[in-house]
Amino acid sequence: MATLLIGTSGYSYNEWVGPVYPAGTRRQDFLSLYAQDFDTVELNFSYYQMPKEAQLQNMIQEGGKALHYSIKAHQSLTHTIDYTSWKDSASEFCRSADVLLHADRLKAVLFQFPYSFHYEADQRRYLDAILRECSAFPLAVEFRNGQWYNSRTIEALRTRNISLVSLDIPETKGMPPMMDVHTSSLAYLRLHGRNGEAWWKSDAAGRYDYLYSERELEAIAQRVKMIASSVDTVLVYFNNHRRGQAVLGAKRLIELLGGRGTEHAS
């Protein structure tokens, strides 16, 4: 049976007070309230600021005993890479992520590479090196450039038991394919919304202002069931976070798949 965990990308949004959290909720209470509805969260603050060990330890306490985490790699490891000093950033990030691993709360470390990360020799060598550097963790890789979707990449990830992230994104020029390729016993699905008109605009926040329809969620539920038939664990995170829309989609998808704690035949 495949374990299925569904949540959102991030939880600490001030604009969620009202739509998600009761009016007047303090920021320090966001995570405990979130954990009442979900069993996992994808931490994305760690992309903007390097996570600290004490910070993650506090989050474990605030989230309670049932909440599990994925954590997004810091931007210095994916977007603003200094090829002469990245190992220092990797060491700092891994020391902090180790807190989640040793507490048995870590489901995956996510490396999300931008469209500008091309399938070229220097980038391939770096990808090989950073994945080796972080091999103590369960890993998932998301590419925003379709060049990486080839048999060589897929086989390399499969050999290392590293998850190739499945995407739900707008079908626009330059975007990677929406395909589910199993390269690990862990499947990782990120739902970014389908706001194609806003995707390439300078205001990136508009990308994630999208509400999935009932029909779209029903189709996603079927997709998740198919993924679950081939792996041990499925992680699903809604990244359409504007105005709490991710929470609405995640809650409804949980219902469509049988409720929290449901397992699916694999």
- Residue bearing the bigger pLDDT, 152 or 173: 152
263: confidence class by pLDDT, cuts 50, 70, 90: confident
Rounded to two decimals, the pTM is: 0.95
CATH code of the region 2-264: 3.20.20.410
DSSP strands (E only) in the chain: 2-8, 40-43, 68-72, 106-113, 139-143, 163-164, 166-168, 186-191, 233-238, 263-264
pLDDT of residue 264: 84
pLDDT of residue 205: 67
CA 161 to chain centre: 17
Contact 207, 193 (CB under 8 A): yes
- What is the rounded average pLDDT of the residues 209-224? 96
- 217: Cβ contacts below 8 Å, ≥ 6 apart: 249, 252, 253, 256
Phi, psi dihedrals of residue 42, rounded to the nearest 5°:
-95, 115
Share of the chain above pLDDT 90, in %: 84
pLDDT of residue 88: 96
Write out pLDDT tens, residues 11-23: 999 999 999 999 9
pLDDT of residue 259: 84
pLDDT of residue 202: 56
Taking 70 as the threshold, does the pLDDT of residue 45 lie above it?
A: yes
- What is the rounded average pLDDT of the residues 178-207? 85
Residue labelled with tokens 């220092």: 88
pLDDT of residue 73: 98
- What is the rounded average pLDDT of the residues 113-129? 96
Within a 10 A sphere around the Cβ of 81, how many other Cβ atoms? 18
Share of the chain above pLDDT 70, in %: 98
- Lowest mean per-residue pLDDT among 55-64, 132-141, 207-216: 207-216
Average pLDDT taken over every residue of the chain: 94
- 46: Cβ contacts below 8 Å, ≥ 6 apart: 71, 72, 73, 74, 93, 96
- What is the rounded average pLDDT of the residues 175-188? 92
